[in-house]
Amino acid sequence: MLYSKHAKLLLGFAICVTFAASCKLPKYKMIAEPGSIAIFEQQKPTNFGTKIYSATIDGKYGIKKYHLSGLLILKQLEDSTTRAVFQSEAGLTLFDFEWHKNHSFKVVSIIPKMDKKPLILALKKDFEILMKINLQHENSFKTQDGDYISYIYPLERGFVDYRLLENQILDIKVFNDHKTYISFLPEAPYLITELPNNIRLVHHKAKFTITLKALENYAPTE
């Protein structure tokens, strides 16, 4: 029993060291409890139904500023498919993304001006992190810093860190090489099982911010 427990600790430590060496993680106080992350994953927002946000995208390219606004509709269908639709306030659909229950991703529709791979991949990643879709369970782990707990998942490049306090998400960071390049900053902590009401997705390197504000009183009717 004792040997088994030490073996698990060594395995967990080996995983952490490997990542620390090859992927340049920040200095976390690591807890070798890879199994505990399953609890976090089980509590993802799976039944949020329909969430409608007033959405804006602000950025700066050189000396030029740009601004785009619309409505972002996040919808979970009965067959466990998830959709993210962005449309102008006047109703025109700008893009429509779909995640099948088997986690495959599909662009249902997108206007030509937005049909660019880097943009699609950036938005895809943002939504997946927000809705906790397609997180790589393998090589994920949990860390703790005082009362704050982090669940860290590897990405294709870098990591995503969900930071929690008392089962509520305080913020989410995407980082690599000790630098945070995307911050998800909710206006207030929110439960793991829900989506935030108001949140900013700050892309530090790309210098643009997506701001989402839930339309609380917007109750669609038949």
Binding site for other proteins (CB under 8 A): 50, 52, 54, 56-59, 61, 64, 66-69, 71, 73, 75, 77, 83, 85, 87-94, 96, 108-109, 111-114, 116-119, 122, 205-208, 211, 213, 215, 217-218, 220-222
Tokens of 3: 């040997």
Q: Which residue number, 8 or 75, has a Cβ lying nearer to other proteins?
A: 75
Of 170, 171, 163, residue with least CA distance to 142: 163
- Would you give the DSSP letter of residue 34? G
Q: Which residue number, 1 or 92, has a Cβ lying nearer to other proteins?
A: 92
Q: What is the torsion angle, in degrees rounded to the nearest 10, for the CA atoms of residue 115, residue 203, residue 133 and residue 191?
A: -140
CB of 120 to other proteins, least distance (A): 10
Dihedral sign (CA 84, 48, 167, 215): positive
Tokens of 39: 């609890």
CB of 211 to other proteins, least distance (A): 6
- Provide the 3-class DSSP secondary structure of residue 95: strand
Tokens of 161: 């860190």
Q: Which residue number, 28 or 181, has a Cβ lying nearer to other proteins?
A: 181
Q: Which residue number, 29 or 67, has a Cβ lying nearer to other proteins?
A: 67
CB of 34 to other proteins, least distance (A): 33
CB of 136 to other proteins, least distance (A): 23
CB of 184 to other proteins, least distance (A): 17
Of 120, 44, 42, residue with least CA distance to 84: 120
Q: Which residue number, 15 or 133, has a Cβ lying nearer to other proteins?
A: 133
Of 151, 148, 149, residue with least CA distance to 160: 151
